[in-house]
Amino acid sequence: MIEGAVAGFVVFTPEPVFARGGYLRAIAVAPAIRGFGFGRKLLAFAERTTVKQAPNFYLCVSSFNKEGQAFYRKSGYTKIGKLDGLIRKGAAEYIYWKKLR
């Protein structure tokens, strides 16, 4: 990894936007450093910030993103819905939810 390079990012809305919950818009970790806990730290930051304003946290993850789905399940999220063809024809976006408080 190059010193000073971006390791990852998280984009989220901590205010309640849907069913009394914040929303995770995007999260990413550089491929070279995946598996070292950076994603967990980014997600934990988003959850700690959101819990101050909302009791729930939601996100969508693509049906073809198996690694992402496993990551969210390990992080305590539950799949609660499905949106067919929202982003890509023939794929679905799964809605995940976690109760923060």
39-95 per-position pLDDT tens digit: 999 999 999 999 999 999 999 999 999 999 999 999 999 999 999 999 999 999 999
Q: What is the number of structural domains in the chain?
A: 1
Domain holding 63, by residue range, is: 8-99
Is residue 82 a part of any domain in this protein? Answer: yes
Kindly report the CATH number assigned to the domain that includes residue 80: 3.40.630.30
Q: How confident is the model at residue 18, as a pLDDT?
A: 87
Please report whether residue 94 resides in a domain.
yes
The Cβ-side half-sphere exposure at 69, using a 13 Å CA radius, reads: 13
The pLDDT of 26-47, averaged and rounded, is 95
pLDDT in tens, 4-24: 778 999 999 999 998 999 999
Q: Tell me which residue of 14, 23, 12, 11 sits closest to 95, measured CA to CA.
A: 23
Length, in residues, of the chain: 101
In a domain, 2, yes or no: no
Q: Nearest-CA neighbor of 46 among 69, 67, 70, 21?
A: 21
